[in-house]
């Protein structure tokens, strides 16, 4: 089962990469379609010599261009659908890799950084597929989501991989399932939430007339209002779960170590994340605070989550040092 899990995770990373390429093709074809539609107007300006010439030029220049634009649009649509299908296939393989890892370890697959990153990334992609069913118009966010999946799964496999070992004694508790499951679920939603937050900042800049580096990507993104609304919904849903996870961790710490809170590095950064995300929700609910400021807070919150996951395990020592590195 362990070997099967490792092989399936490798295939998962490959499928996510193919999905990312498909979404990138959709973006590229979308840009080509925009150029094809713009071309007839330029041709007509030079060809307009008399009313009859204009009519002839319009028929000659517009008909093939529109036909080409339609073909390109269909190809872009097909590439986008293939990207979604490959993402769903990658999520299914992702789940198989986690289940087989758990069966091989005879426990929930959350005992080290490798397993935790795989689980968090799976929650993120599964939540994305649910969002896509509800709001298909957000499909072009798939490029960014699959990019994140490729990076996380590849990092887990190439950098964080740890052979299966039994849980350390401190984790042998029913609180392991209660606390870790909720923290994993909330982290996966935060992972998904940071994607529309970053996309919103790019799209909002484009809608305001800014021509910065991500201009080409930004003009193909969904409307800024829909991206901002999705960011809020995901964070408003995940924040109470994250709060419960922190409280459950404190209860477990009281039972395991005789104190609910000791400013251990993990505990400290969990608190920092909680404060930042609470700040995001407060900023989002305050009319005087600009939406881009709130979006930056959402991104900052996820950076603190990454710090808690990677930085604390790599650079700090504490009671939560179960990273497996």
User: pLDDT tens string for the chain (325 positions)?
Assistant: 889 999 999 999 999 999 999 999 998 887 554 444 444 444 444 444 444 544 444 555 555 555 677 888 888 899 999 999 999 999 999 999 999 999 998 888 888 889 999 999 999 999 999 999 999 999 989 999 999 999 999 999 999 898 888 777 767 778 888 998 999 999 999 999 999 999 999 999 888 887 666 667 788 889 999 999 999 999 999 999 999 999 998 998 888 778 888 888 888 999 999 999 999 999 999 999 999 999 999 999 999 999 988 888 777 665 555 555 5
The answer to whether 209 and 286 have CB atoms below 8 angstroms apart is no
Q: Is residue 172 part of a domain?
A: yes
- Has residue 147 been placed in a domain? no
Residues 6+ apart with CB under 8 A from 90: 12, 15, 16, 19, 125, 146, 149
Q: Is residue 201 part of a domain?
A: yes
Domain-embedded: residue 52 = no
Q: CA 213, 22, 301, 258 torsion: positive or negative? A: negative
Q: Can you give the pLDDT at residue 225?
A: 93
Distance of CA 178 to the CA centre of its chain: 24
In a domain, residue 184? The reply is yes
- Domain extent, residue 218, equals 167-325
How far apart (Å, rounded) are the C-alpha atoms in residues 17 and 289? 38
Number of domains in the chain: 1
Residue 173 covered by a domain? yes
| Residue 321 covered by a domain | yes
d(CA 9, CA 49): 64
Q: What is the DSSP string of 128-185?
A: HHHHHHH-GGGGGGHHHHHHHHHHHHHHHHHTS-----PPPGGG-SHHHHHHHHHHHH
- 159 falls within a domain: no
CA distance 119 to 99: 10
Length of the chain: 325
């Amino acid at each position: 089962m362990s070997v099967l899990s490792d092989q399936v995770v490798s295939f998962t990373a490959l499928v996510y990469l193919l999905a990312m390429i498909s979404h990138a093709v959709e973006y590229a074809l979308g840009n080509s379609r925009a150029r094809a539609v713009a071309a007839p107007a330029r041709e007509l300006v030079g060809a307009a010599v008399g009313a009859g010439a204009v009519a002839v030029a319009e028929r000659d220049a517009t008909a093939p261009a529109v036909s080409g634009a339609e073909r390109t649009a269909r190809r872009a649509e097909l590439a986008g659908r293939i990207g979604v299908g490959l993402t769903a296939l990658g999520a299914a393989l992702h789940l198989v890799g986690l289940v087989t890892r758990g069966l091989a370890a005879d426990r929930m697959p959350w005992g080290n950084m490798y397993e935790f990153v795989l689980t968090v990334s799976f929650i993120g992609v599964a939540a994305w597929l649910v969002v896509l069913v509800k709001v298909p118009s957000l499909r072009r966010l798939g490029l960014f989501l699959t990019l994140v999946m490729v990076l996380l799964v590849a990092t887990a496999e190439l950098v964080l991989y740890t052979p299966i070992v039994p849980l350390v004694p401190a984790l042998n508790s029913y609180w392991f399932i209660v606390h870790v499951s909720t923290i994993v679920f909330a982290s996966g939603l935060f992972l998904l939430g940071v994607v529309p937050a970053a996309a919103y900042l790019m799209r909002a800049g484009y809608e305001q007339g800014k021509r910065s580096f991500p201009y080409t990507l930004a003009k193909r993104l969904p409307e800024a209002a829909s991206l901002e609304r999705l960011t809020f919904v995901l964070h408003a849903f995940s924040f109470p779960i994250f709060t419960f996870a922190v409280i459950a961790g404190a209860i477990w710490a009281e039972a395991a170590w005789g104190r609910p809170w000791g400013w251990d590095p993990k505990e400290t950064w969990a608190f920092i994340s909680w404060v930042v995300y609470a700040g995001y929700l407060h900023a989002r609910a305050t009319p005087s605070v600009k939406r881009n400021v709130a979006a930056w807070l959402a991104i900052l919150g996820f950076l603190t989550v990454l710090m808690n996951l990677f930085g604390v395990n790599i650079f700090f020592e504490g009671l939560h040092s179960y990273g497996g590195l």
